[in-house]
Structure 1
Amino acid sequence: MRLVYFIILFASAAVVALTASDESKATGGDPSANSKEEKKEELNEFDRQHEEAGILVLTDQNYEEVIKSYPAMLIKFYAPWCIHSREFAPEFVKAGFILKEKNSPVRLARVDASVEKKFAEKYDVKGYPTLKFFKGDLVIGYNGGKTGESVVSWIETKMKQATTAITTIKEAEEFTTADSVTLLGLFSKDNFTEMSKLLEDTAFTRLNEVPCGVTDNEELMAHYQVARDTILMFKNVDKERLSYEGPFDVDSIAAFVKANKLPLVVEFTHHSAPDIFGGDIAKHALLFVRKSQEQQFKSSFSQFRESAKSFKDRVIFIYIDVDNGDNEKILQFFGVKPSDPPSVRVIALDRNMSKFRPTFESVTTEGVTEFVQDVLDNEIDPHLASQELPDDWDKEPVKVLVRKNFDEVTMDQNKTVFVMFYAPWCDHSKELAPVWEQLAKDYAHNDTIMIAKMDSSENELPDMKVMSFPTLKLFPANSNDVIDYYGVDRKLESLKIFLDSNGKKQPGINDFKEPNEPGNNEDSDKTKDEEEKSDKTDDEGEVKSEEDTDAKQEL
């Protein structure tokens, strides 16, 4: 659930950084249609380009020895049949040539993870291509751009010292006020080597984009009134200083930063999105406001922020600038109209992503506080959007459903109803529309079958969450079952096979997989071993394609 909410908002911010998984269908990229000769030539050219760029080839047998031979190495785990691996290959080669020209000590390497499974499994590779950066005994996932130049830039950043040495009070004050959040480790001379190495490792592996300083200056320790080894967090937006009191290990320090780095009220941007969704807080309060209307913004924000003080560590308070075009889909997702702001919404990720609307019109501290507390106390029912039922909803071959008539139509025991849940802004929904129209025409004379559609961006159901667009569900006659369509394509003939079999045949899935058995996402390039595993993901390091970004944006 949380992943879907994250994708909707994060993709809306037009993120193009490679921070999450790129998964396209395992069989879709398989070049089996090529002749053997064409395939051989293609692979030979692939190998030649990588070799000329100085890109090493790793196997289960040699990877440990080869990695130890270089100060750092960026390794690409790929599969020859994966289309996204192929698309990324030229940029990886370009990065190799750039590093070669710079005489960089960092080497690039590649491993066919569909063959060298021991190596891939050791580093939890779940999709292709996945990039991992090895530096000494540390390993991190790649989260940079998808061009050769951005790969090199990311590597050069990671090769720099992750912490900054601070020697004077002036340096410390400049350092701790330069960013919204900074860490400063103050350690005794006896422990400095060990503790600064610990903070360096933590910063490199876990504290992305959080500046970290270290010092053993006793004058500085006195200035900050620190009597022993400690780490201070400076939150400049909230003008707050926190002292780390936990054990000194990477996981504990990283958890402290993760739990405390967000300001009391955070603006939603592509930069803040990972921190918003990466935590454990399941309730989010959102203020939709126009920053361009300065007086109204200051007033609403001030009231909203004052309320946030009552819910620290329980609710994340977020504001969203509705004037920012990148946030358009967020407004659609929450049903916020251009005339609504300033307005407040709450979403509960731990209650099936339930959304809540207040009854007040003006944003006040008292109103927001009462509203959020009522959500926490389960005193408010979730808000479910619904359009009005059109008078002509059943006049065309494709019948129109809204929340108000959904149960009545789909639960009709005399009809089998095949429903497309779509969003009007979704490109994949638009592509399916003419096929869906033709399907309805072909079954128009069958009184026992109805082809219908529902705009799920405007209609929400209490007991059914639509997780992607378009989603196809079959409601068979004389049954209370709901059968999801998992076929490998949405061609007219495939939909007819599914419909005529009353949902028993899923075209292309394991030679007609039984209904309701998990199938493959159309845009998934998971490892073939992962096809049978749970859909839990570890997105770090996997390279995202434009195709995958667009598909996920339409959830």
Structure 2
Amino acid sequence: MQFWKLSTKVLATLLAVVSVQASGPSDGDAIADPNSAVVKLTSDNFASFLEENPLVLTEFFAPWCGYCKMLGPEYSKAADILKDSPHNDKIKLAQIDCTEEEALCMEHEIKGYPSLKVIRDGNNKNAEDYQGPREAQGIADYMIKQSLPAVQLPTSLEEFETLIKEQTQPFIISIGDEINEIFDKVAGQKRKDYSFYKLGKDLTKQVGKLFPSIDLKKAGYLVVHPNQLADAIKLDSDKSIDVDKLLEFINVETVPYFGDIDRNTYMKYMTSPLPIAYYFYKTPEQKEAISKDLIKLGKKYRGKLNIAGLDANLYGRHAETVNMDPEILPFFSIHHINDNKKYGINQTEYPEGPSAEVIEKFVDDYFNDKLKPIIKSEPLPTEEEIKSQQVTKLVAHNYNEILNDSSKDIFVKYYAPWCGHCKKLAPTWEELAEIYNDSNVVIADVDHTNNDVDVPYEIQGYPTLLLFPANGEVDEKTGIRKPIVFEGQRELGSFVDFIKDKGSLKVDGVVLQKRLQEEKEKKEVKEETEEKEETEEKEEVADHDEL
């Protein structure tokens, strides 16, 4: 299972919330500064303006919209940055007030505010959704990339130096190859994120002085961070290089040695195939004091580990996702995303935060398999709980042991304590467990938010109901049987039918249900008979007393 999706959803939510809290949804003015380069469009000038300008970023907004008020000042600044750039004649930023231009907004199927569309060559019917940052420099950089060919072909050293001086994000260079279809395909896919340059053999010789640590005699690809030409990273070109390998190289090398995770960068970290090391800090001074050491460590483990800072004032709740105490800061932890293993430096031993030496040893030990992961688990159920509950309670400490009993069909409910649908299902799940008590079918549940457990299925919501058939095929990654997901009506009869149809043992719950009912009736008759006999005995005793 891709566990990172669950943990990063939490982080993404925190990032989104913080982005609102940071400047407040009511701060700013949604309408662009009239003195800025933003152009106000109406139904009268909309079509003509688009025809006259080859690339337009258009914001559809409402003046009362809180998020529009947040964006407004940044949007104005971005327009002015572009106005003063060499790209002034290519890129324009415009606004449409949907409270005044309702028909125009309806025509473009605007369903929320703000909605930003990239429109090329006046073709508003094929407008693209804007997917870039929402701060001034990020907007400007994104639109500059949109104005350029996917791959740029500088013809002189001077032109190349001018182009790369403008970069505020990592950029990618192909050297030595006149024709490179792989590079062109990757550039087409990633043009929204990075700038791509192709240098012929003659120009490659001239740029050698810019990259003194790189051997440019052999064709290959460079990832270069802004103002860090001496630290450029090269991937040599050979027959084994394909689109996927070049993409992987770019995804790894464009991440800084040590950078912050925020709403503009978190997807870069989360989509990387590497584990992530987090340094949670409380103050800028804490981060600054250790930055040089973490950059050095990032270089040492480049391609094996990403190291990122998180401001605990903004994203402290994410500490719980990596099984750390958010109250003890700063701290350092590693999240191995592929198998959801989490490792952390003991916070009790370092209440003031670990030193650079402690962190380096911790990372060395991680790569030498000397660390044990921190397992989040509820306590094991007591003997009394086991006897009193029909549903088998799973926690991280007994999960594998129970699921590894392949002689039984095991039906598990993965739930969250805050989930309303899970609470509604609970009585039915208890009733189901009662039916299969003392059979070869186990009815179990696990609080998926408080227990680190492996699941060979991508859980995207709660409750998720999975049946692990007896003697079923084992998932190689988790070592657990591959489950069958229940997707029917969450009713007792549907569950009974599902277990019989999909379970390996074909246990007939209807028969068990009837047997259970008969036993209950017999028990009731017996209790009634015993109660009657007890009453008669009391009456007889009373009669003798009277005598």
User: Offset of 1:263 from its aligned partner?
Assistant: 0.8
CA-to-partner distance for each residue in 1:104-151, whole Å, 9 max, x for gaps? 458759xxxxxxxxxxxxxxxxxxxxxxx9xxxxxxxx9959xxxxxx
CA-to-partner distance for each residue in 1:361-395, whole Å, 9 max, x for gaps? 33222222222222222222333222224667455
Q: Is the counterpart of residue 311 in structure 1 residue 304 in structure 2?
A: no
1:181 aligns with 170
**Residues 1:298 and 1:411: Cα distance change in structure 2 (over 3 Å):** same
- Out of 321, 335, 347, which is 2:311 matched to? 321
1:487 aligns with 486
Contact 1:238 1:263 in 2 (8 A): no
Report the Cα distance in structure 1 between the residues aligned to 2:408 and 2:281, rounded to whole angstroms: 46
User: Offset of 1:264 from its aligned partner?
Assistant: 0.5
SS at match of 1:356: strand
| One-letter code aligned to 1:210 | Y
Report the Cα distance in structure 1 between the residues aligned to 2:160 and 2:399, rounded to whole angstroms: 64
Report the Cα distance in structure 2 between the residues aligned to 1:407 and 1:497, rounded to whole angstroms: 26
Q: Is the counterpart of residue 423 in structure 1 residue 416 in structure 2?
A: yes
1:358 aligns with 345
Report the Cα distance in structure 1 between the residues aligned to 2:444 and 2:296, rounded to whole angstroms: 47
Q: Is the counterpart of residue 373 in structure 1 residue 364 in structure 2?
A: yes
User: Offset of 1:185 from its aligned partner?
Assistant: 7.0
1:9 aligns with 8
Report the Cα distance in structure 2 between the residues aligned to 1:195 and 1:301, rounded to whole angstroms: 41
2:378 aligns with 387
1:268 aligns with 261
Q: Is the counterpart of residue 434 in structure 1 residue 427 in structure 2?
A: no
TM-score, length-scaled by structure 1: 0.52
Report the Cα distance in structure 2 between the residues aligned to 1:280 and 1:8, rounded to whole angstroms: 15
Report the Cα distance in structure 1 between the residues aligned to 2:250 and 2:468, rounded to whole angstroms: 48
CA-to-partner distance for each residue in 1:162-207, whole Å, 9 max, x for gaps? 35676785983674354131346789xxx9xx57999776533344
SS at match of 1:381: coil
Q: Percent identity?
A: 15
SS at match of 1:338: coil
Contact 1:416 1:475 in 2 (8 A): yes
**Residues 1:301 and 1:434: Cα distance change in structure 2 (over 3 Å):** farther
Q: How does 1:67-106 map to 2 (within 5 A)?
A: 94=109, 104=122
Q: Is the counterpart of residue 224 in structure 1 residue 210 in structure 2?
A: yes
Contact 1:230 1:243 in 2 (8 A): no
Q: How does 1:85-234 map to 2 (within 5 A)?
A: 94=109, 104=122, 144=131, 158=146, 160-162=148-150, 172=161, 175-176=164-165, 178-183=167-172, 202-212=186-196, 221=207, 224=210, 233-234=223-224
SS at match of 1:378: coil
TM-score, length-scaled by structure 2: 0.52
Contact 1:304 1:364 in 2 (8 A): no
2:236 aligns with 246
Report the Cα distance in structure 1 between the residues aligned to 2:131 and 2:109, rounded to whole angstroms: 15
**Residues 1:390 and 1:169: Cα distance change in structure 2 (over 3 Å):** same
Report the Cα distance in structure 2 between the residues aligned to 1:467 and 1:250, rounded to whole angstroms: 29
2:448 aligns with 456
CA-to-partner distance for each residue in 1:285-319, whole Å, 9 max, x for gaps? 222333xx222232354443343332122222233
| One-letter code aligned to 1:472 | L
Report the Cα distance in structure 2 between the residues aligned to 1:16 and 1:342, rounded to whole angstroms: 19
SS at match of 1:403: coil
Greater share of helix residues, 1 or 2? 2
**Residues 1:309 and 1:185: Cα distance change in structure 2 (over 3 Å):** closer
Contact 2:223 2:232 in 1 (8 A): yes
User: Offset of 1:237 from its aligned partner?
Assistant: 7.8
Contact 2:8 2:270 in 1 (8 A): no
Contact 2:257 2:295 in 1 (8 A): yes
Alignment coverage as a number of residue pairs: 377
Contact 2:380 2:398 in 1 (8 A): yes
Root-mean-square deviation (Å) = 5.3
Contact 2:255 2:268 in 1 (8 A): yes
**Residues 1:400 and 1:211: Cα distance change in structure 2 (over 3 Å):** same
| One-letter code aligned to 2:342 | K
Contact 1:307 1:366 in 2 (8 A): no
**Residues 1:13 and 1:443: Cα distance change in structure 2 (over 3 Å):** closer
Stretches of structure 1 lacking an aligned partner (at least 5 in a row): 18-89, 110-132, 134-141, 146-153, 507-555
| One-letter code aligned to 1:312 | R
- Computing the radius of gyration from Cα coordinates, the structure with the larger value is 2
